[in-house]
Copies of this chain bind each other. A is one copy, B any other.
Amino acid sequence: MDASALQVIVPIAGIAAVAFAIYLARDVLSRDKGPQAMQDVADTIREGADAFIRRQYQTIGLLALVGAVIIGLVITVFETKDVADTGTFGLELGIRTGIAFLVGAACSMASGIIGMYISVRSNVRTAAAARRSLVEAVQVAMRGGAVSGFLVVALSLLGVWGIFAAYGGLAGGQSTHDAPFLIVGFGFGASFVALFAQLGGGIYTKAADVGSDLVGKVEAGIPEDDPRNAGVVADLVGDNVGDCAGRGADLFESTAAENIGAMILGVGAFTIAQAAGWPNPTAWIFFPLVVRSFGLLATIVSMFFIRGREDENPMNILNRGYWVTTILSVVGLAITTYVMMNTGGTAGANGIPVWVWFFGAGIVGLATSVAFVYITQYYTAGTFRPVREIAQASKTGPATNIISGTAVGFETTFVTAISIGIALIASHWLGEQAGLRTEDGRNVGGIFGTAVATMGMLMTTAYILAMDTFGPITDNAGGVAEFSRSEAGAREITDRLDAVGNTTKALTKGYAIASASLAAFLLFSAYIDKVNLIETNRHGPLLTSVNLANVSVFVAALIGAMLVYFFSSLAIRAVGKTAQSIIVEVRRQFREMPGIMDYTQRPDYARVVDITTRAALGEMVLPGFVAVGTPIAVGLLLGHEAIAGMLMVGTIAGVLLATVLNNGGGAWDNAKKYIESGHLLDDSGNVIGKKTEAHAAAVVGDTVGDPFKDTAGPSLHVLVKLLATITLVLAPLFIR
């Protein structure tokens, strides 16, 4: 098959995924909404989520507009002819970059909004289905989640492809060669939106969680999910805006930015292919788009495998779909590499064809994603040593629970770093064997190998994201069932799904971290390519090395590593402040509306949601600006080599701290659940369950873990990718 024929798959797969998402959405929406009591609760949640999303995306939209104008101006002024990386520069480039930024931002927002639209409607339908059947409930929740998954990935694919086409990427030759550099603004726009979506959603969800717990359970002494506590609805809203919209934006930008980075590296391969006279040089640039398209198609097929027995562990049903996606992705990867990496007979090391080496690199990426799925399970599921250790430590009180959880969180960096290290070295080595050599003899195959691995990993994104959104939907379904005092059978099913949802949410974070680390190397190389293109045009010295022995690089690296702590500190503190405003409001309601306590008065849910929304959006601004401003300041002060050091070391530090926060938080959460399900025994073999001191200690750990794993950790994923896109877009500003 001809490579250019294969390229047609990009719009086809993108449109097919959108169509399939519409089909799934219609299917979900047509389902039974359950009794009126359920619908009432769900309506309240939906209204709150809509209100938050509307206000949040208005704020973000405004910020993005300002951002686009500033970036456009900066590019216009600084990326003049003599420092431009392509033939487009000055005002034209400024406008193009600003537009790309806005399109990226708009696509990210659209996928967030539509995903939320379905997820807040899937929850009640999942709860209703749970009254009849576990498998049906799994299907409804997973299909609802898949709407998000497909839309996020399809919009990112179509968005990158569309802007690439609009900027001449399909014209071939030099025009295709230049286009990847013109669309980096798209990735920046996506990162920008993701940062604020994740921060705002993350602050909202955990502030509502912590605030309503403290004012209800601790102060007023009423149960955790009691309808008398107006903060509880905010908590249910929070599950949607944090886990669903936030993670969606996170992975939208992963896929977009990494895709663009890989295309920039593809330009290097294109030049080599052209010089060597290989059949289809532009295929190397199109490769990331095509391979992702196959991933989307594989995920569509897998949706038909989400079926099982009523008495089956729901996790098995989801795993089945994941393995179908993975195996079909391997097939798609083989086809793509075979067709698109046609070298007309030129072989790599040991006479093995070039495409086989890169196919191997892609497999490394897929394997890494599988590895992270299992690593995360080991560290956060109750069946293994880490969670049991924390549960045991809870016997001697909250202090030992926290110490033990911290030790577990720190420990998880070991296997994370080793896995990433192996993946990078293996994919780099495989790529080197393929032997793509530039005119001056440099082997750029290694870097391209890491790019292929990243793309391989991203093939399953839609499925992972569907599993992730499954989490808040089932969590909400449980809340809806509880609130509407549904039958015990339904609640038993939603509880089982909720436990599975906790695992899938944790998996997604592990996946996001692994992709961020693989991508760091790729985006970093893209940055160096871009700098050197500029330097070549202006006849400046090439950036051949980011030298840690250079004092400004070292200091920038130090600041990069510091930034991840400082940013997390701001995010965690924002949760505390926002929680305070919830506490104050719910206290006021208890005081001024005495009928709430004897159920004669309905609490003012909307007001709490509104107050939380405003507080969370206000609090997201400072960490957001610190995240955007620090790399710009460091780049301006210390120059283009130093900012590269900041990017790399900031990524290392961010990935590790996010691992600590996500896994530590997940382990604390499940240690509490471990005790609640009666697995913890005392020395005489009696169960230490709910309402014991050990349980109280475990609740402390769970509460501490909340802002770690749902606010700071996920925001760090976005931060590290933002570092990469900022440096890519603003490179001309930093060159000395």
Contacts and interface: CB of A to CB of B under 8 A. Distances in A.
A128 B555 CA distance: 49
A268 to B, nearest CB: 14
Contacts of A417: 558-559, 561-562
Given A214-B397, A562-B416, A648 B554 contact: yes
Interface stretch (A108-116, A343-351, A565-573, A604-612): A565-573
Interface stretch (A297-305, A362-370, A540-548): A540-548
A565 B424 contact: no
Contacts of A397: 214, 218, 700
Contact of A656 (B210, B450, B551, B565): B565
Contacts of A555: 420-421, 424-425
B648 A406 contact: no
A652 interface: yes
A565 B648 CA distance: 18
A410 B554 contact: no
Interface residues of A, number: 76
Given A558-B652, A572-B406, A704 B399 contact: yes
Interface in A94-141: none
| Secondary structure of the A contact surface, majority rule | helix
A269 B407 CA distance: 45
A379 to B, nearest CB: 12
A708 B399 CA distance: 12
Contact of A549 (B393, B396, B402, B545): B545
Contacts of A552: 425
A421 B559 contact: yes
Contact of A407 (B408, B573, B703): B573
B562 A703 contact: no
Nearest to A567: B410
Contacts of A159: none
Interface stretch (A30-38, A40-48, A521-529, A724-732): A521-529
Interface in A386-414: 393, 396-400, 402-404, 406-411, 413-414
A450 B551 contact: yes
Contacts of A648: 548-549, 554, 557
Q: By CB atoms of chain B within 10 A, which of A400, A411, A420, A652 has the most?
A: A652
Contacts of A656: 558, 561-562, 565, 653
Interface string A627-653: 000000000000000001100110011
Contacts of A553: 548
A600 to B, nearest CB: 29
A356 interface: no
A645 B446 contact: no
A240 B584 CA distance: 47
A649 B416 contact: no
A518 to B, nearest CB: 11
A660 interface: yes
A576 interface: yes
A479 interface: no
Given A413-B562, A548-B645, 14 more contacts: A218-B397, A398-B700, A403-B703, A407-B572, A408-B569, A414-B565, A417-B562, A420-B555, A424-B555, A425-B552, A549-B644, A561-B652, A562-B656, A700-B700
